[in-house]
A and B are shown apart, each in its own frame.
Chain A
Amino acid sequence: MAKMNILQAVNNALHIAMEDNEKVMVFGEDVGHFGGVFRATSNLQEKFGRDRVFNTPLVEQGIIGFANGLASQGSVPVAEIQFGDYIFPAFDQIVNETAKFRYRSGGQFSVGSLTIRTPYGGGIAGGHYHSQSPEAFFAHCPGIKIVIPRNPYQAKGLLLASIRDDNPVLFMEPKRLYRASVGEVPEEDYQLPLGKAEVVKEGSDITLLAWGAQMEIIEKAAEMAEKDGVSSEIIDLRSIQPWDADTICQSVEKTGRLLINHEAPLTGGFAAEVAATVQERCFLNLESPIARVCGLDTPYPLAHEKEYMPDHLKTYEAIMRTMHF
């Protein structure tokens, strides 16, 4: 075990994946010698050379397009999009090519070896284009998995699993926690399952569901509610696509209540999908309407960031409202 933050855990996973499989390549803007704007790819170029780790030009559509071509020929690209907000110039390649190659080639080949890493999320005064959480756009696109870790241990195990998974994976890293979240991480190679939610804490009154940086928010709100005698079951969804409806529904059958948090705007966010499925499967178990605490339906603001962000206070209030419905 070693103490690592999320960046170190990601870096460690990349070292292991590259050592383990010489087909793994890492590229993106500024990822080379300098290790990227967050240093997530530090020392990879020194260790594995410029053929396997290199800076690309400033061209997101190209980065994913090049990665699609490489992946379809058997390479294992781990492509970095410097911020989740810059993924939109590559949206077409991801949605129309990455996610569809297996299907549209009639299963002849896929780009399943591709992993796209990108930092996402707000709370850092980044303004419109350094703060967004675009997971729901991609959840609407069958053929690509979406994975979001909440801490260093999860980041390493889920990233290694993503790189080795036979489907393209969009791996979204909570950048607000990059250095803030520190924990014990095994130094050896390990993987955590994709498509599987994790019950972080058991409880009996309400199920709190979130992913990534919102996990610490719901944990904090649960502690507050605990003082009012509310027992929360806390679940990290971890995979947005495919998502683990069974674990969530089992929990809701027990607690009868569900609250879902995400940073992306409320309307059309992934909480809506979860809520629709849960009400379908657990209708008779529900004691109260499914609640959502999400970003506002506005562009990501600089000045109104506090109003925009789902925080522990809004979450606590929603828990209490749900309890007293």
Chain B
Amino acid sequence: MKNSSPETQESAVTFENMNGAYKLSVLKSMLRIRMVEEEIAKRYPQGKMRCPTHLSVGQECVPAVIGTLLSESDLAVSTHRAHAHYLAKGGDLKAMLAEIYGKQSGCCKGRGGSMHLIDEKVGFKGSTAIVGNTIPIGVGLALSQKLRGKNDITVVFLGDGAIEEGVFYEAANFAVVKKLPVLFVCENNLYSVYSPLKVRQPQGRKICDIASTIGLHSQEGDGNIVAETHRVLTTAIDVCRQGQSATFVELHTYRWREHCGPHYDNDIGYRSEAEFLAWKERDPIELYKTQLYKAKILDAEKLQVMIRQLETEIQDAFQFAETSPYPPSEQAYSPVFAQGVNINIAEVANG
């Protein structure tokens, strides 16, 4: 782990001395994300979820841990791969699934779908399919938090690819100048679609080093190991909340399934089955379960209870999403403008 700002020290709260209930809550959050994503993958081929969908299977640790460290009034923005971030920020599973199904009960009334989750209620100020677009928005959110003088922070989730968009540098620079309470969480999963890091960024140069050169308090860590992820994130969040510096964390992880869609795609040649299997050996959930078993925090029965609870919750949520109505045709124009604005109404087909 790298820590670029000398004046900050490790957080006093270490993962090791957190209690068992907390540790189990992290496991439950990881399992919840995994099971939701796997259920989406299972049902996706039925053709009822029609929007492009990017799953976070294999990347559950970072969102699950950060979810336990944020308060309700903290804000978050995210990417095309947003389900895990939304759930971790306290998002409503039913509203998320209904959104993916394009239903009126979705968090955005079905207007957006999987990549466009927004939920003001839980401080989830938006995910987007335009890579990089939420990065400066997150910085603006952090500026507003600072102006209000609250202790809240904004988390900007981003991938290793998004670092390549120029807007990241613009946003990071401003965040440093203004010492904004923003935390950039970069989940480095080695790929942008089919392009490995090595054809996109110089080999040997680290993303966290770029961030630290810009002036962000910057650290890296293993994003598949709960304790390490927890340590890196608690430090960053402390620094952020105390208003010492804008912060950046690079957490190494791996997406298991194809970039977009429900399948595996190790056979098509842009990455190898061997690489995938090596990462699967390091399944963040299995690694964590082993640790919890060893510490006698978890046993087979507790795990079964947890899984059964989650199964019920998830099946209920899918049932809700599938049976919810589509938005009515006469609402096609709402809410583009504030009420009272006259617009050019074209013919709307009867849905």
Q: Which residues of A contact B (CB under 8 A)?
A: 29-30, 32-34, 37, 54-62, 85-86, 88-89, 125-130, 266-267, 292-299, 301-304, 306-309, 311, 313-314, 317-318
Contacts and interface: CB of A to CB of B under 8 A. Distances in A.
Interface in B331-351: 331-333, 336, 343-349, 351
Contact of A314 (B162, B268, B347): B347
B123 to A, nearest CB: 21
Given A88-B130, A127-B113, A311 B349 contact: yes
Given A29-B192, A297-B336, A130 B349 contact: no
Given A85-B130, A304-B111, 4 more contacts: A32-B195, A55-B199, A127-B113, A296-B332
Contacts of A301: 111, 332
Interface residues of B, number: 51
A57 B200 contact: yes
Interface in B304-318: none
Given A55-B200, A296-B348, A298-B332, A34 B270 contact: yes
Contact of B349 (A85, A129, A302, A313): A313
B102 A30 contact: no
A29 B270 CA distance: 14
Given A34-B194, A302-B110, A314-B349, A58 B131 contact: yes
A305 B115 CA distance: 16
Contacts of A54: 199
A27 to B, nearest CB: 11
Nearest to A62: B166
Given A297-B344, A304-B329, A128 B165 contact: no
- Majority-rule SS of A interface residues: loop
B347 A317 contact: yes
Given A62-B166, A303-B102, A317-B347, A89 B199 contact: no
A128 B346 contact: no
Contacts of A302: 50-51, 102, 110-113, 116
Pairs of residues from A and B, 8 with the lowest C-beta to C-beta distance, nearest first: A303-B110, A125-B50, A57-B164, A129-B129, A303-B102, A58-B161, A307-B332, A302-B113
B102 A298 contact: no
B103 interface: yes
Nearest to A50: B199
B351 A307 contact: yes
- Give the one of A30, A56, A302 with max B CB within 10 A: A302
A30 B194 contact: yes
Contacts of B51: 125-127, 302
Contacts of A62: 164, 166
B326 interface: yes
- Give the one of B116, B129, B132, B327 with max A CB within 10 A: B129
- Give the one of B104, B128, B327 with max A CB within 10 A: B327
Contact of B130 (A89, A292, A314): A89
Contacts of B162: 58
A303 B103 contact: yes
